[in-house]
Amino acid sequence: MTEIINVSKKRDIGKQDLASAKYIVSFISLKPQSAEGYVEAAEQMIRAVQSQPGFVAAYSAREPSGVGITNSYWTSLDAISAWKSDKDHRTIQEKGKKNWYQWYQVQVSEIVRSYEN
């Protein structure tokens, strides 16, 4: 069963919460089930990103096989760049490359249209 995690400032996401988002960063990865230190690092990054200017929300899901995706929503490309170069984020990224992820890909996309039911 896939677990979906809401990594947002507000735990209840409504349509107005994502209205300010102009960009999505998708992080797709393959992580083994046992990854020592991963949970603690992920929790640290969740706390840090929530105070990052331009961050709107994020959702994450991971299959039991280890394939996961996190979509984070941002107001600007500058905000995304600032997060990418954040010192603590860079440190965790390096640990991820070295210790946790067998494979990953990052995609930055502009939101052209958004609608919901």
116 within a domain of the structure (yes/no) = no
The pLDDT score that the predictor gives to residue 54 is 95
- Copy the structure tokens of residue 116: 């919901």
115 within a domain of the structure (yes/no) = no
pLDDT tens profile 96-112? 888 889 999 999 999 99
Q: How far apart are CA 56 and CA 74, in angstroms?
A: 5
In total, how many domains does the chain have?
A: 1
Q: How far apart are CA 28 and CA 23, in angstroms?
A: 16
* pLDDT, averaged across the chain: 85
Residue 62: CATH number of its domain: 3.30.70.100
**Confidence (pTM):** 0.84
80 within a domain of the structure (yes/no) = yes
pLDDT tens profile 59-78? 888 888 889 999 999 999 99
Please state, in angstroms and as integers, the Cα–Cα distance from residue 102 to each residue in 6, 53, 78, 105, 108, following that order: 24, 30, 29, 11, 21
The pLDDT score that the predictor gives to residue 73 is 94
84 within a domain of the structure (yes/no) = yes
58 and 94 Cβ atoms separated by less than 8 Å = no
Task: Tell me which residue range forms the domain holding 95.
Answer: 3-110
